[in-house]
């Protein structure tokens, strides 16, 4: 009951956040210099064509009415035509989004496992050489942009050692599995094509790892310091004093409270990878949303830009809700106080 | 063959590394108790009572704490030299502890049941593990023992949902659920109001007597010591300054610090509030040389500023670490 309440309230808030974002996007798109109708038909089209398009796009109506039309279409999934690809923006996104999603999911998984794993290791062997190496890596990882890692991995693991392929989502000789979710690894598994799954997995390792490095470093740092802080708490001394074995104290009674800050930051990092993935997608020739969004911006493709930004906003909001649910599950104090104030 | 004492601490030093140097908190603590004894430990806040007790169970956070020298024996075996495995045998079943602040001692993100049941599971014989049902039954029994109503619901609750008094009862129940030979109770109930504190202490005394558990009771409330203990250690700034049978200590306190401590207790019969002991506990970064109490001592003499006083035996059970008694008894130099 309380969890449901909490969830419903969070979703209602999120709707307002997205509405606000849509207004901002709409206004920016309209105040940008240039006539959207002229941009849609090209510089050489005669004026009467532009006028007709203006009529069709409701550009002669007052701004709030225009927003109403725009929102109605957006809710139907219609963001208009892309200027660059000359296809509906929606079908472009349908094509590029799953590739990004797959990349981000893998990198999120690596960030969670790697970051928490290294953080725990570092806290467990605090002030030993293991801890020092992890801390050094953490500082380096936090300040190094992901494309540097991407280039390093391509050169080292891809080109020199030839452990991993460095281009695209699948090898050329491998046929793609039937599209169900658009995530090639998942689709391959669903179709029972294990060889294809392995090939897709080998392709995703390097880009996902490049994207995850910063988050791994960040999560390791936060997990370590949070565990180190909590280690001197009385409830840890008490658990030890009452005879609970060290591995249970560390793995359970210390880990759970220490993961709360990690999960909050991890959520933000994962949501952010969608938008910062551009250079990594470019380096690995990964047909993803970030690359598409960046190309749209280069070409002032307003319809595509609006759609991409709105989708990124929706992703941020969704990830935040998921993070809040996980944190509430980890921390009864938040769960219970949310229930009380509801 | 003599039976070794239940706990014996010899010349224990504990230092804490902090920015700017070493806090020399414990400065050669000596302590001994037999099985079945009820021992009080008094002294003002910050004098090292809790540090000493945490050292017994090896639950001091290390680092920053370290133990440069000293020995702690439990039934003749040095706890400080034990392996993790041997230590696990002692913690819980041998010695368990009630921490000062029940709110800090309970893990905020686990339910009472998860915490209490873990304590019960791991303090039982690991070769014959209890079934989850047995663990659950014992958890309920533990809560009933500390007079908590509706234990089933309580096991599902989180610490934040409980009142201070209930948390304290849970902590006592948890510490006794292991069936310890020695219970260390660190100022139980201090954070609660006086009537609840009284109830808690009565409950604790009843349980300890029923189970015939040895206890070390840490407190700065002298009335509680008088009621509940056989023998009292008085601690000042990392040293045991006096030990005596409870009655004798209250009848004739010898160390100037003990006297000051007793004078500091306001009497309900009137007479106003005494001045107590002027000054404060010294800075552990740079403790005063000689007797650590000399800057505050009304009877300090020349030697107090230079040398650390040895322990003088006034009678079989009464010892005091103060140069004023150099002629009265035979001095036994500690360390």
Give the B-side interface with A, CB within 8 Å.
54, 57-61, 63, 84, 88, 91-93, 95-97, 99-101, 104-111, 115, 118-119, 122-123, 158, 160-161, 171, 174-175, 178
Axis-axis angle for helices A302-330, A63-75 (nearest 10) = 60
A112 touches chain B (CB under 8 A): no
A123 touches chain B (CB under 8 A): no
A34-44: average pLDDT: 73
The mean pLDDT of chain B is: 81
Nearest residue on chain B to A239, judged by CA atoms? Answer: B119
Domain range for A101 is: 93-290
A-chain CB neighbours of B99 within 8 Å are 234, 237-238, 241
Q: What is the DSSP letter of A81?
A: B
Residue B270 pLDDT exceeds 70: no
Question: What band does A342 get if pLDDT is binned at 50, 70 and 90?
Answer: very low
CATH number at residue A160: 1.10.3720
What CATH homologous superfamily does B7-109+158-332 map to? P-loop containing nucleotide triphosphate hydrolases (3.40.50.300)
A127 touches chain B (CB under 8 A): yes
Which ipTM score applies to this complex?
0.81
Nearest to B59 among A237, A257, A331 (CB): A237
Question: What band does A113 get if pLDDT is binned at 50, 70 and 90?
Answer: very high
Nearest to A233 among B100, B104, B122 (CB): B104
The whole-number pLDDT of residue A144 equals 84
Number of domains in chain A: 1
Nearest to A336 among B92, B96, B160 (CB): B160
pLDDT in tens, B143-197: 887 777 888 888 888 888 888 888 888 888 888 888 888 888 888 777 777 777 7
The whole-number pLDDT of residue A1 equals 47
B53-73: average pLDDT: 84
pLDDT in tens, B233-247: 988 888 888 888 888
A231 touches chain B (CB under 8 A): yes
A276-284: average pLDDT: 80
Q: Is there a domain that residue A264 lies in?
A: yes
CA pair distance A95, B35, nearest whole angstrom: 77
Better pLDDT: A303 or A266: A266
Residue B263 pLDDT exceeds 70: yes
Nearest residue on chain B to A256, judged by CA atoms? Answer: B109
pLDDT in tens, A77-100: 888 777 777 788 888 888 888 888
Q: Is there a domain that residue A14 lies in?
A: no
């Amino acid at each position: 009951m309380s969890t449901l309440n909490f969830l419903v309230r969070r979703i209602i808030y999120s709707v307002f956040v997205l509405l606000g974002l849509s207004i901002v996007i709409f206004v920016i798109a309209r105040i940008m210099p240039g006539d959207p109708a002229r941009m849609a038909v090209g510089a050489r089209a005669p004026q009467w064509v532009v006028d007709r398009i203006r009529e069709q796009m409701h550009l002669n109506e007052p701004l709030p009415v225009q927003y109403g039309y725009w929102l109605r279409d957006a809710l139907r999934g219609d963001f208009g035509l892309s200027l660059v690809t000359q296809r509906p923006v929606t079908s472009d996104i349908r094509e590029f989004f799953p590739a990004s999603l797959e990349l981000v999911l893998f990198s999120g998984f690596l960030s969670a496992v790697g970051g928490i794993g290294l953080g725990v290791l570092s806290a467990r062997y605090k002030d030993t050489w293991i801890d020092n190496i992890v801390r050094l890596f953490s500082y380096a990882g936090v300040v190094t942009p992901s494309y540097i890692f991407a280039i390093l991995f391509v050169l080292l693991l891809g080109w020199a050692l030839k452990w991993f392929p460095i281009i695209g989502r699948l090898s050329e000789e491998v046929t793609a599995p039937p599209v169900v979710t658009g995530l090639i690894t998942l689709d391959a598994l669903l179709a029972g094509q294990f060889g294809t799954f392995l090939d897709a997995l080998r392709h995703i390792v390097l880009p996902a790892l490049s994207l995850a490095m910063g988050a791994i470093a960040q999560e390791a740092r936060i997990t370590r310091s949070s565990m180190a802080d909590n280690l001197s708490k009385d409830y840890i001394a008490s658990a030890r004093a009452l005879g609970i074995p060290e591995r249970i104290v560390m793995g359970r009674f210390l880990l759970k409270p220490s993961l709360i800050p990690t999960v909050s930051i991890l959520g933000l990092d994962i949501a952010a990878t969608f938008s910062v993935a551009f250079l990594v997608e470019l380096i690995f020739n990964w047909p993803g949303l970030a690359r598409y969004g960046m190309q749209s911006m280069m070409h002032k493709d307003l319809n595509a830009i609006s759609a991409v930004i709105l989708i990124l906003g929706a992703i941020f909001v969704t990830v935040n809700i998921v993070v809040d649910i996980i944190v509430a599950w980890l921390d009864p104090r938040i769960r219970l106080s949310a229930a009380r104030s509801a | 063959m003599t039976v070794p004492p239940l706990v014996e601490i010899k010349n224990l030093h504990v230092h804490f590394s902090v920015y700017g140097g070493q806090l020399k908190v414990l400065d050669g603590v000596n302590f001994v108790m037999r099985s079945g004894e009820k021992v009080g430990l008094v002294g003002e806040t910050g004098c090292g009572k809790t540090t000493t007790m945490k050292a017994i169970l090896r639950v001091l956070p290390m680092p920053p704490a370290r133990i440069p020298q000293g020995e702690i024996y439990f039934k003749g075996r040095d706890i400080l030299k034990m392996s993790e495995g041997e230590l696990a045998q002692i913690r819980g079943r041998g010695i368990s502890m009630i921490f000062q602040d029940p709110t800090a001692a309970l893990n905020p993100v686990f339910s009472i049941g998860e915490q209490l049941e873990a304590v019960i599971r791991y303090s039982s014989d690991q070769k014959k593990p209890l079934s989850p049902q047995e663990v659950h039954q014992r958890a309920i029994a533990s809560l009933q023992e500390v007079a908590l109503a509706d234990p089933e619901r309580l096991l599902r609750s989180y610490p934040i949902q409980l009142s201070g008094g209930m948390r304290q009862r849970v902590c006592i129940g948890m510490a006794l659920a292991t069936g310890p030979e020695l219970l260390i109770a660190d100022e139980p109930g201090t954070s609660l109001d006086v009537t609840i504190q009284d109830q808690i202490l009565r409950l604790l005394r009843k349980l300890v007597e029923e189970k015939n558990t040895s206890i070390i009771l840490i407190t700065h409330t002298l009335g509680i010591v008088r009621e509940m203990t056989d023998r009292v250690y008085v601690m000042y700034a990392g040293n045991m300054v006096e030990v005596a049978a409870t009655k004798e200590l209250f009848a004739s306190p010898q160390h100037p610090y003990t006297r000051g401590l007793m004078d500091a207790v306001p009497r309900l019969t009137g007479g106003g509030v005494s001045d107590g002991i002027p000054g404060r506990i010294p800075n552990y970064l740079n403790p005063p040389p000689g007797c650590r109490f000399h800057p505050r001592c009304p009877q300090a003499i020349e030697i107090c500023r230079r040398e650390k006083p040895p322990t003088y035996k006034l009678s079989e059970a009464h010892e005091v670490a103060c140069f004023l008694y150099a002629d009265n008894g035979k001095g036994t130099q500690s360390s």
